[in-house]
Structure 1
C-alpha cells in the first residue's frame, strides 16, 4: 500500500498493492493502478506551440481535451519510437485527466510490502523524488513511479494551461 507520505512498503497488514507495469526503453516501470482510467492505442496528438518537448500535445477524449506527456522524453531515455505497441495511459490524478505515452504495457502486478525496497540514493545526478521504490518479483524489477508527485510537479502545471 502507498501511505500518506507517498512511500510504499509501510503497509503492515500484509495486503499487496497493484501496479500497472509498462516499459520505457529496456526498463520496466510501475504506477498505482488506481490512478489509471484507461489504456488507449497511440494516436496522433495536436502539438501546442512553445510547449516543452516532453509535452507531446493534446488529444480529444470523448469531448475532453487532455494533455499528453511522452515519458521517454520526460525521463531523457532516447528518441521515442511510435509503433503498434505504443500506448497512452489515461490517468486521473486529483481530478485532472491526462495522458502519458509509454512504449508498451505488460500487466497488472500485485506487490506485497516486503517486495518493495526504498529507491537507492543516487546523489544529485538523478532526481529520485518521483520514485516510490523498486518492486521485485523473482528476477523481475519494477521502478515504481510516484505518478502523483510527477504529474503535479511545477513543470506539469503547464499542462493545465494547455488543456484550458
Structure 2
C-alpha cells in the first residue's frame, strides 16, 4: 500500500439523484460513514507529534506535505475505549470550515471500509436513545446490506470554537 491513498477531493461529479456518497470506516467494531465531499484523502497511520495543553481527543499534529494538520481521535471524542494502533489504523483527512476557510483535520479511524452510494430512503433520523455517542454528531442512520451505518456530521464532531482553540494551540508552519 502506498503512503497516501487518494479517496476524494470534493471535486467529484455530484452523486446520482437520490443517493448519498459515503466513505465508511470502523470505530470500535461499528461502521461509521461521512459524506465523501468532506474527505480530502486517507493516509496510512504515521507518527503523530503531541502538542501540550490541547483537548484530550486531540492526539497532536502531522506534517502533510509541509502543512501542519491536527489529528483527532474519534474514540476519545466519543468516550469509547482507546485501543492500540493496528496495521489497519488510518488517518482520514477531512475538510472542515473554519472562519469561512477550508481547514484540513485528521480523524483517526480503526480502518477504512469503502466508498458507497446509499439511497436517501435508506437513511433515517438519528436515534433519540441507545447510541453511545451524542446524537448531535449524527446526521442519520443508514441501512446497508443488513447493517447499520452511523452517518457522522463531521463539522459538529469538533465545534468551530473548539477547533479554533486547537488550531491556535499548535505551532504554525515556518
TM-score (norm 2): 0.80
Find the partner of 1:146 among 121, 135, 153.
153
- Alignment match, 1:162: 169
Find the partner of 1:132 among 122, 127, 139.
139
Find the partner of 1:30 among 20, 28, 33.
33
- Alignment match, 2:81: 78
- Alignment match, 2:120: 113
- Alignment match, 2:60: 57
How big is the shift at 1:126? 5.4
- Alignment match, 1:103: 110
Separation in 2 of the partners of 1:141 and 1:76? Answer: 20
Deviations 1:138-157 (A, max 9, x none): 31110000012223343233
Decide whether the 8 Å contact of 2:63 with 2:69 is kept in 1: yes
TM-score (norm 1): 0.85
Structure 1: gaps (5+ residues): 1-12
Q: Specify the SS of the correspondent of 1:122.
A: coil
Aligned residue pairs, count: 151
Separation in 1 of the partners of 2:48 and 2:40? Answer: 19
Q: How does 1:3-22 map to 2 (within 5 A)?
A: 14-22=17-25
Q: Specify the SS of the correspondent of 1:158.
A: helix
Structure 2: gaps (5+ residues): 1-15
Pairwise CA RMSD: 1.8
Kindly indicate whether residue 129 of structure 2 is the aligned counterpart of residue 122 of structure 1: yes
How big is the shift at 1:16? 0.4
